[in-house]
Amino acid sequence: MSFEPRPARNARAGGGRGPRIGFLAAYMNNAYEWDIWRGVRAAVEERGGTVVCFAGSGMADPDAEHRARATIFDLVHPSNVDAILCLTSVVSPFVGVSGVEEWAHSRGLPFCSIGPAERVPSVSIDDAAGITQLMVHLINHHEHRRIAFIRGAERNQEAQQRLAAYERTLARHNLPLDPRLVLDGDFTTESGARAIRELFDRRQVPIGEIDAVIACNDYMAFGAVDELVRRRISVPDQVAVVGFDDITPARVHSPPLTTVRQPLEDLGRAGAELVLDVLAGKTVTLSTTLETELVLRRSCGCVPTSRFVLPDESVERSSAGDASTRAVLRNALEAELHGEPGTFAFALEPILRDVASSGSTEFDAGRRFADEFCTRMRLVGKEVVFERLTRLARVLHTKMFGPQAYLSTALVEHLPSFELHECAVSELVLTADASTPLGQLKLAFGFDAKTLQPQMVAYDGHELVPSSFESLRQRSVFVIPLTCGPQPLGITVLPAGSQDGAFYETLAELFATVLKVLEVRRGPARA
């Protein structure tokens, strides 16, 4: 089935320099969302466009703190983006897919979905096939019969499809469906641990009656493993645990996680291509499905635990070939540490295949060694970033009790070390109209590419940044809500760079603290 788009238009203020796509997501320190974002950004920028990532939360989330984050979606408007690409699976749990589509219709913008959709073009993965692969592997290869299932949010269509596939596969293998083994989850690590507590503590299922646990995503699988280990239940020797997604941490979790690999970056790319084609007035396929891949690791008992040993350094090699190999590996490692997971393992693969062809059986362990090595290197890099963020926090904490302009000066001195050469932090201006909490903003502190001490002017929230911030209007950015508990405080707009999502969320938390202190200093009368 195809989708006939409306005539393309570009009503965005300052448009004409390429399409500007609004990407709706939630927490950017989530590895699943981050990998999809990387694909979206790459595809849009390759076609001369930019992306505005609105990092909110689930729409109508019953949790007041999460709901405060979701106010960022009120800023999505034809004046700041030309079309919307929504990561529907994380935005829709509380309103359903139809609720998100109704919201998008009210924006009057072309809209596409990554994940399930009903009336708009979408790209998704074959959830049922992925779960079926996991189930068949556990049943046929490991001869497991008592398999528990941690499902996702109740209104999430992907979670529903995965649960249905679990039930169908049990039936095909003449295995009973035990309601005690179907557990609630919400895609978080904590909900995975909570499900295990529910299984053993409240439902009183004996450990001997459980062979395996399937979690609807990797984060819940991590939580399940952690809770089992806390109870001194060995994974996989006593209970196998498997997940879904194959986010980067799955490779180096202890034990490494058997899971279903979603092509996350490809999903992002495909979604971006889809919305760009709709925006260009092209006829597109209404629904596109990408395939999944079963990835076997230690958590189900499949991967050998032998240690990978590099080839003997005493073996004579030509200096030219050795130097070339070192250069390739060095470049791949640099790319890996700058946000391209898997690059180093891919570059190392020819060496590992040489080892395997000479009679070694440790190729898989070698790949695991490469992933673990890169993860450790990334952790070292994160420690350095954390130290710099800590220094910035100390400086801001001292500056926020003096003239407000000093905060901008502090950012000018410290943010360039993170390759951020502009930044806007704006506070909420209270108005009589509370229908759009972030409708009126005022620059609190920040700097742009031309002005290190910009004027602290009020402006319409739909502009995202004051008019003087020309550079931020022309590049890919994160728009992150600044909140204190259930209270919206303002927003920060940050250029998309080489840091990971956890960095941006941490920086936003720091800015929110500063805004709260400024509010308290000012007293009850804010303007």
CB atoms within 10 A of CB 221: 29
Q: Is residue 410 within a helix (H) or strand (E), and if so which, with residue range?
A: helix 405-414
Q: In whole angstroms, give the CA distance from residue 346 to residue 446.
A: 40
pLDDT of residue 435: 60
DSSP 447-506: E-SS-SS----EEEGGGSS-TT-TTGGGS-EEEEEEEETTEEEEEEEEE--SS-HHHHHH
The larger pLDDT score, comparing residue 499 to residue 453, is at 499
Which residues are CB-neighbours of 9 under 8 A, at least 6 positions away? Answer: none
Q: Are strands 83-87 and 111-114 parallel, antiparallel or unpaired?
A: parallel
Rounded mean pLDDT of 303-309?
42
Give the per-residue pLDDT at 11.
47
Q: Residues 114, 268: contact at Cβ < 8 Å?
A: yes
3-state secondary structure 220-266: HHHHHHHHHHHCCCCCCCCCEEECCECCHHHHCCCCCCEEEECCHHH
Would you state the structure tokens that stand for residue 84, as one six-digit string? 């919307």
Band (523; pLDDT cuts 50, 70, 90): confident
Domains 2-124+265-289 and 127-264+295-300 share a fold: yes
27 SS3 class: coil
The residues facing 446 across adjacent strands are 424
pLDDT at 393 over 60: yes
CA-to-CA distance for 212 and 203, rounded, in angstroms? 16
Name the architecture of domain 127-264+295-300. Answer: 3-Layer(aba) Sandwich (3.40)
| 2 close to 286: Cβ distance less than 8 angstroms | yes
Domain boundaries, the chain: 2-124+265-289, 127-264+295-300, 308-399, 400-503+512-521
Q: Does the pLDDT at position 63 exceed 50? A: yes
Other C-beta atoms closer than 10 Å to the C-beta of 253 total: 21
Find out whether 260 and 294 touch, Cβ atoms under 8 Å: yes
- Helices of type H across 85-188: 88-91, 96-107, 127-136, 157-172
Asked if residues 486 and 68 have their Cβ atoms less than 8 Å apart, the reply is yes
Cβ(474)–Cβ(434) under 8 Å?
A: no
The tokens for 334 are 């640099």
Is residue 147 classed as helix, strand or coil in its secondary structure?
A: strand
Count CB atoms within 10 A of the CB of residue 414.
17
pLDDT band at 5 (very low <50, low <70, confident <90, very high): low
User: Residue 296: what pLDDT?
Assistant: 93
Task: Assign 358 a pLDDT band (cuts: 50, 70, 90).
Answer: very low
CA torsion sign for 264, 269, 275, 277 is negative
Residues in the chain: 527
| Amino acid found at 232 | R
Residues 109-162: tens digit of each pLDDT: 999 999 989 999 999 999 999 999 999 999 999 999 999 999 988 878 899 999
Between 1.10.8.100, 1.10.275.30, 3.30.1120.80, 3.40.50.2300, what CATH number should domain 2-124+265-289 receive? Answer: 3.40.50.2300
CA–CA separation, 146 vs 198, rounded Å? 16
Better-predicted residue by pLDDT, 17 or 278: 278
Q: Which residues contact 70 (CB under 8 A, 6 or more apart)?
A: 56, 57, 58, 59, 60, 61
Burial classification of residue 90, based on how many CB atoms lie within 10 Å of its CB (0-12 exposed, 13-18 middle, 19 or more buried): buried
Contact 468, 443 (CB under 8 A): no
CATH number of 400-503+512-521: 3.30.450
Q: Which amino acid is at 382?
A: K
Q: Can you tell me the distance from the alpha carbon of 364 to that of 306, in angstroms, rounded to the nearest whole number? A: 10
Q: Which of 277-286, 355-364, 387-396 has the weakest average pLDDT? A: 355-364
Residue closest to 472 by CA, chosen among 47, 80, 77, 73:
80
Helix axes 363-399, 343-357, angle to 10 degrees: 160
Lowest mean pLDDT among 191-205, 241-255, 276-290, 333-347: 333-347
Q: How many CB atoms lie within 10 A of CB 387?
A: 10
Q: Is the pLDDT of residue 6 over 80?
A: no
If you ran DSSP here, which 8-state letter would residue 8 be given? P
| DSSP 8-state symbol, 84 | E
Mean pLDDT, residues 461-488 taken together? 94
